[in-house]
Structures are given as C-alpha cells and as structure tokens.
Amino acid sequence: MTRNLLKEEVSLSKLYKVAILGATGAVGTELLELLESRNFPVGDLKLLASAKSVGRSLPFKGDNLPVEAVSDRALEVDIVLASAGGSTSKAWAAVAVEKGAVVIDNSSAFRMNPEVPLVVPEVNPQAAANHKGIIANPNCTTILMTLAVWPLHQVKPVQRIVAATYQSASGAGAKAMEEVKTQSSAILQGDSPVTEVLPYPLAFNLFPHNSPMTDSGYCEEEMKMVNETRKIFGTQEMRITATCVRVPVLRAHSEAINLEFAEPFSPEAAREILSRAPGVKLVEDWGRNYFPMPIEASGRDEVLVGRIRQDISHACGLELWLCGDQIRKGAALNAVQIAELLVEKNLLQPAKAYVS
C-alpha cells in the first residue's frame, strides 16, 4: 500500500515516484525529512524496510505513511534512496534498475565499481551523467573532507592529504547513539557500561575505528577515504593517508586535515576560497579560540571549516579543521542532492542499464 501525494494543482510530469529503502533507520528518517523540507517533487512515496518494521508509519507532509516490506513491485518507482546496508543494496539494486528506477545507494556496495559514479554534487556533479541506473553516495568522512579540500584543489592541486577523523556514534546507526547514552548514564551512576552495538564502550572513551582491518594495517574506513577521494577527484596518483577514530560524540564527525601542495598556499587565500565554497561555512574566531565543533554542526547542512593555518613543518603545507553532520551531508542530504541533480539535469534515464 502507498499513499498518493499528488496535488491537483501540480503537473504530473514534474512529480516523481520515490522509494526510501531502509526508511526506519537514522538515515532513512532523515531522508524523509529532507524530501519534505527541500520540497522535492514527490508524487508518490513508498517507505520500505525489513519485515519487522512493517506496520509502522512515519509522518510526511501532514500524513502518516505506512512502512512496507521491500519487494519487486514496491521498487516500481523513478528513484530509490537506499540506506539499508550493503547486503540489502546488493540484493535489490539490480531489481530496481530493471524496473526502471535510478538507485542512489548510501552503502559501500557499489562505490568502487568502475561502472557506478561516486558523486558529491558540489564536487563532481558531471559524473552523475554517466550512471547506468546506480549512483553511489560516498562514505560520510569522504564527503565532508572533499567539500573542504576540492575548492582548494581547484586553485592549486593537492599533492598529499593526511587526515585524522573523530567519528561520532551516529556513523554506526541509531542504536549506537542510544548505546552511548545508556553507557554514559551507567558510568555516571557507578555501573559498568554494557556494549552490544559497538565492540567497546564509547562513552567517556575512544578507540580506532571498528571497521575490519586490512593487510596493509589500515582499517576499511581509512581505505574508503583513500580510494573514494581518488575516484571523486579523478586522480589515482594523489597521496592520501588517514587515521579514523570513534569518539564519544552523538552526531557529527570532525576531521583534522593536513594538505601538501607543490607551492605555498597562504591561509588567507584558503580562507577567501572556502568562505564562498558551496556547502561550506567558515567558522573562525582566533581571539576566542572558537572554531568548528560537532555540537554546532549537528543538524546543519553545511560543513563547518576553520582553524586554517600554515603547517610549520612544511613550507607548502596547510592545516584545517572541519565538522559536519554525518547523517545529513555525510549521508542523507548528499543523496537527496544527487536526486535533485538528476531531476534538474534530466538524468533519470540511463544510457545503458547496470548489470551486476
């Protein structure tokens, strides 16, 4: 069952059938809110999730829409916004494409597939035109970093990136966020924290990112930043290294970025460029030692960037600090912006269907 949301005064040709796959999760509910707040041209909306969520309803534009189980028929739409995990995307993306939909996938399932564009609309919107039915949403840390680095890279190509991330519980989902709250309460009451979602207690603690370790000694999260940034920037030669850490913040990631250029890049020039970069807000008050903080980035669309300074160890080095909402720009907002790009540029019809 779906709810028809068409308004008589709006032309049917300008409205689209949309499905959210994984609608009840942290990113799924954010997708729903963004479709409404950004007035995306939705004509018919399907909320899809696992069988255990069927029967629930979620609010949208004054209505309560039912949650359905995902099925072949439920994917007969124009756009699928997928946020249900890699295994679910692998199982259903090709089905949706065969039904005529374009899938914007938030998992890592297709990001490094050479036939699937990996898109940040403020950075490489042109890549979306090459889709064959699936477009991948990059990893949250990659999206936030590229928004700050790309405008500088356009002026003077970056030779090397050294990134250290401070990643919130939201990156592990809504259950991880609740676990941090429960653990914090337990510790403050003198009890031992219980861990079920994350491998170790995160409240009043931090640990290297919990994604699987690779043979190189880098975890998968760190390699996502390396490989995805190269793909988005269109350069496999760029030297990138990352250290990813899980920190006791509920929502919004932070990143310390060191950039190396072939020639000096003054902090003043970088500030001027980033002050007018799309999707970025410059936040600096040196007198008050006030710079981006995750608590202020939470719930915001912009990536907050500041503390831009000369690297005292390298004449061609530049340091910056950023914070961005992992659920919004790091996931849901970027996906909705891709959908908006497809509509604006009339790119919903692929030249050739994706074959898994």
Structurally, what CATH architecture does the domain formed by 141-326 represent? 2-Layer Sandwich (3.30)
For residues 60 and 35, is the Cβ–Cβ distance under 8 A? yes
Active site residue 131: no
Closest CA to 181 of 252, 254, 250: 250
Active-site residue, selected from the candidate residues 140, 219, 244, 323: 140
Element (H, E) at 80: strand 79-82
Active-site residue, selected from the candidate residues 153, 244, 253, 323: 253
Cα separation values, 133 from 36, 100, 105, 258, 353, Å: 24, 8, 11, 36, 6
Paired with 164 in beta bridges are 243, 256
Locate CATH 3.30.360.10 in the chain. 141-326
Give the mean pLDDT per block of 10 residues along the chain (356 residues): 38 79 94 97 94 91 94 95 92 94 96 97 97 97 98 98 97 93 97 96 97 96 98 96 98 97 98 98 98 97 98 98 97 98 89 49
Model pTM score: 0.92
Which residues fall within 8 angstroms of residue 21, CB to CB, at 6 or more apart? 28, 48, 49, 70, 80, 81, 82, 83, 84, 88, 89, 92
Active site residue 244: no
CATH topology of domain 3-138+331-344: Rossmann fold (3.40.50)
What does the angle CA 195 – CA 200 – CA 202 come to, to the nearest 5 degrees? 90
Locate CATH 3.40.50.720 in the chain. 3-138+331-344
> Which token pair is 262?
């072939």
